[in-house]
C-alpha cells in the first residue's frame, strides 16, 4: 500500500488546517483512545525495540525500529498501515518481528504484479517485490515467515478487464508467493480496497471488492479484511483531493493497519 496518512502538517490551505492528521486524530477522532500508545509520557513518538521494518524507497533501503515515517516521503511526516500493524503483531509475538514493506503507486495486479501462474509476461513489480523480500532477509538467520499482507487494487479497479480476471490473478499470486518461498501454508491476508467508504451499486468499486473477496475465499489459509468502514470524509482529512490515498487521513491508515494486524493474529492462532 503506497498511500500515507499525514502526521503533523497543518497548513490551512494545503493540509486543511490539520484535520485528520495523526496529531488531530489522537485528540478528536472516534479512535483516539486506541492511539494512546503511539506517544510516550513526554509526548515523543514511540519507537519499538522488538519490531523492525525494512522498506526500499527508490534505491535506498530504510530500515530500523518501528515508529512513524516509513512511507515514500521519508522523514517522519507520514504513516502507513505498517505502524499500527507492527504494534499489533509485536504485541502478539515474544520473538523479535521484522516487517518487510514493498510498495509502489499506480500498479496493477493484472500487469505490474502479474504472477507467473497467470498467462502472459510476469509483472516486473512481482519480480521486484520478491527480490526486495529476499534482500531484506539475506542477513537474517533462524527466521520464520508468518504472513503475507496484500493491500492493493486501485489500478485494477479502474479497468473492467482487470476486474474480470482479478480473482484468479489473486489466487495465482498466493500460490506463486508460497512456492517462491517454500511455504505452502503461508497465511495470506487481503485488505479490501476501502477508499471512499460504501460503494455505489454496480460500480467498478463494488465489482472490484467482490472480486477481491471471491478470490480470497478460494485461497486456503487466507482472510479477507474489510476496510471501507475506515474511510473518513474529505472535509475531515488533510489531503482533501486525494481520494485514492484515503485523503491522507491518519485515522484511516491506523485502523487499516489495526484490522490487518488483528486478522493476521487470528489466522495464526487457528
Return the closest-CA partner of residue 248 out of 12, 16, 13: 16
**Confidence category of residue 107, pLDDT binned at 50, 70, 90:** very high
In this prediction, residues 73-88 reach a mean pLDDT of: 96
Q: Which residues partner with 45 through β-bridges?
A: 39
User: Which of 29-33, 139-143, 245-249 shows the lowest per-residue confidence on average (mean pLDDT)?
Assistant: 139-143
Chain-centre distance for alpha carbon 148: 11
Nearest Cα to Cα of residue 175 among 216, 144, 138: 216
Give the span between the Cα atoms of 220 and 199, in whole angstroms: 27
* Mean pLDDT over each residue of the chain, to the nearest integer: 97
How far apart, in whole angstroms, are the C-alpha atoms of residue 233 and residue 230? 10
The residue among 103, 102, 93 whose CA lies nearest residue 144 is: 93
Pair 45, 67: CB distance under 8 Å: yes
Question: How sure is the predictor about 1, in pLDDT bands with cuts at 50, 70 and 90?
Answer: confident
Q: At what angle do helices 82-92 and 250-269 cross, to 10 degrees?
A: 30
SS3 87: helix
**What does pTM read for this prediction?**
0.97
Is residue 4 predicted with pLDDT exceeding 90? yes
What is the 8-class DSSP label of residue 31?
T
C-alpha cell of 119? 498467462
* Adjacency order of strands within the sheet including 97-101: 60-66, 48-57, 97-101
Which residues in 180-195 are b (16+ Cβ under 10 Å) and which e? beeeeebbbbbbbbbb
pLDDT band of residue 58 (cuts 50, 70, 90) is confident
**Residues 74 and 248 sit within 8 Å (Cβ to Cβ):** no
d(CA 60, CA 74): 10
What does DSSP assign to residue 246? G
Buried b (16+ CB within 10 A) or exposed e, 222-256: bbbbebeebbbebebbbbbebebbbbbbbbbbbbb
Catalogue all structural domains in the chain, each as residue range(s) with its CATH number: 5-269 (3.40.50.1110)
Backbone angles phi, psi at 61, to 5 degrees: -90, 125
- Give the C-alpha separation, 191 to 227, whole Å: 7
**Average pLDDT rounded to a whole number, residues 248-266:** 99
SS3 call for 8: coil
Cα–Cα nearest to 232, from 19, 76, 38, 40: 19
Amino acid at each position: 500500500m503506497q498511500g500515507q496518512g499525514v502526521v503533523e502538517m497543518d497548513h490551512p490551505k494545503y493540509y486543511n488546517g490539520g484535520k485528520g492528521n495523526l496529531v488531530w486524530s489522537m485528540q478528536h477522532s472516534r479512535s483516539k483512545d486506541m492511539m494512546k500508545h503511539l506517544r510516550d509520557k513526554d509526548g515523543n513518538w514511540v519507537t519499538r525495540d522488538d519490531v523492525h521494518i525494512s522498506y526500499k524507497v527508490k534505491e535506498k533501503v530504510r530500515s530500523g525500529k518501528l515508529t512513524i515515517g516509513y512511507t515514500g516521503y521519508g522523514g517522519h511526516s507520514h504513516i502507513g498501515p505498517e505502524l499500527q500493524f507492527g504494534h499489533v503483531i509485536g504485541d502478539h509475538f515474544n520473538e523479535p518481528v521484522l516487517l518487510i514493506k514493498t510498495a509502489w503507486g499506480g500498479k496493477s495486479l493484472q500487469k505490474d504484479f502479474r504472477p507467473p501462474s497467470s498467462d502472459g509476461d510476469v509483472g516486473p513489480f512481482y519480480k521486484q517485490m520478491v527480490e526486495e523480500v529476499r534482500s531484506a532477509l539475506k542477513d537474517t538467520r533462524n527466521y520464520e515467515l508468518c504472513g503475507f499482507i496484500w493491500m492493493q487494487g486501485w489500478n485494477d479497479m479502474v479497468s473492467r478487464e482487470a476486474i474480470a480476471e482479478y480473482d484468479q490473478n489473486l489466487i495465482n499470486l498466493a500460490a506463486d508467493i508460497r512456492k517462491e518461498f517454500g511455504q505452502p501454508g503461508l497465511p495470506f491476508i487481503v485488505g479490501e480496497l476501502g477508499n471512499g467508504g460504501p460503494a455505489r451499486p454496480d460500480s467498478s468499486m463494488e465489482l472490484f471488492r467482490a472480486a477481491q473477496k471471491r478470490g480470497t475465499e478460494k485461497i486456503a489459509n487466507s482472510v479477507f479484511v474489510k476496510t471501507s468502514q475506515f474511510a473518513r470524509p474529505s472535509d475531515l482529512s488533510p489531503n482533501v483531493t486525494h481520494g485514492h490515498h484515503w485523503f491522507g487521513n491518519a485515522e484511516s491508515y491506523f485502523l487499516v493497519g489495526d484490522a490487518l494486524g488483528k486478522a493476521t493474529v487470528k489466522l495464526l492462532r487457528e
